[in-house]
Amino acid sequence: MQVVKTIAEARALRQKLGGTVGFVPTMGYLHEGHLALVKQASIGNSAVIVSIYVNPVQFSPREDFGAYPRDLDRDLELLRGEGVDIVFVPSDDEMYPPEFSSWVDVDKVTERLEGASRPGHFRGVATVVAKLFNIVQPTKAYFGQKDAQQAGVIKRMVADLNMGIEIVFVPTVRESDGLAMSSRNIYLSPGERQAATILFKALTLARQLRQGGEKDAGKIRWQMTSLIQKEPLAQIDYVSIADAETLEELNLIDRPALASLAVRIGKTRLIDNMPLE
Ligand code: PAF
């Protein structure tokens, strides 16, 4: 496994790879969810490249960029175990030199949910992913279903800008009690960790209601909200039942829908989602 820090080194190594290249962009502090992406990339390609970069421009000044967990040595050890070929670990100067001034804005699919709650977030994500795609030139790139909106934004960007990269969605990996794996789970105290299971419980309730024949999205949102409100440590940012493709909120569930939510548990903001069809 080769670990490189500069764009020139990453490009040079990439050019030497034959066959298909699977790419997994990450912000590090890897967990089983990331490793599931890497495993899929290994199965589907001749070589695998992973990037580890905590991208400052996708965090607002109020968010946790400084505190975001980092442990490069552990990450590299985990990636060695997965047989990854190249790990790209750029610095901020490498990615955003002082003269940097080009941005990727994806409209519509970024307007709701995470886009509404975190202005500028998807501009930062789309920009860094476009840069990483240009550097790595992958055949396929792997994104987790947990960040469903992010995956949709990247898919839109790749189609609109004719990048010719196949975007593969990988199912969310969960702890045994249903909590979606996330690097941010490390922020949770034991009491908060217990409370955080409310996200999965609310999504499971939504799915059960839908499977029981409920088509009124408002009723499902209301039931999810009532359940979450019973958890004293939880504060709802949003609860959504939306069109799975466009993420427009639904009144009547007459097409594939996605239940998604963002909830603060103490100071930690967690997101999760579940397809309803
Ligand atoms: O999902 C993430 O970890 C990040 O948003 C990504 C895609 C690596 C871009 O910084």
34 is catalytic: yes
pLDDT at 277 over 80: no
Regarding the beta carbon of 234 and ligand 1, being less than 6 Å apart is answered no
Distance 149 CA to ligand 1 centre (A): 12
Summarised one tens digit per residue, pLDDT across range 118-147 is 999 999 999 999 999 999 999 999 999 999
Rounded mean pLDDT of the chain?
97
From the candidates 34, 123, 155, 210, give the one annotated as an active-site residue.
Answer: 34
pTM across the whole model: 0.96
Regarding the beta carbon of 40 and ligand 1, being less than 6 Å apart is answered no
Neighbouring C-beta atoms of residue 191, cutoff 10 Å: 12
- Which of 36, 257, 25 shows the shortest CA–CA distance to 135? 25
- Give the residue extent of every domain in the chain: 2-170, 183-276
Regarding the beta carbon of 110 and ligand 1, being less than 6 Å apart is answered no
Calpha distance 207→201 (Å, rounded): 10
Reported confidence tier of residue 270, pLDDT bands at 50, 70, 90? very high
Summarised one tens digit per residue, pLDDT across range 181-220 is 999 999 999 999 999 999 999 999 999 999 999 999 999 9
Average pLDDT (259-272) is 98
Distance 37 CA to ligand 1 centre (A): 12
What distance lies between CA 164 and its chain's CA centroid?
A: 21
pLDDT at 61 over 90: yes
Distance 238 CA to ligand 1 centre (A): 21
Q: In what order do the strands lie in the sheet with 268-275?
A: 234-243, 257-265, 268-275
Q: So what's the pLDDT on residue 39?
A: 98
Summarised one tens digit per residue, pLDDT across range 145-188 is 999 999 999 999 999 999 999 999 999 999 999 999 999 999 99
**Which atom in ligand 1 lies closest to the alpha carbon of residue 55?**
10
Element of type H or E holding 133: helix 121-136
CATH of domain 183-276: 3.30.1300.10
Q: How many CA atoms lie within 13 A of 268 on its CB side?
A: 22
Topology given in CATH for the domain delimited by 2-170:
Rossmann fold (3.40.50)
CB-based contact 262:117 (threshold 8 Å): yes
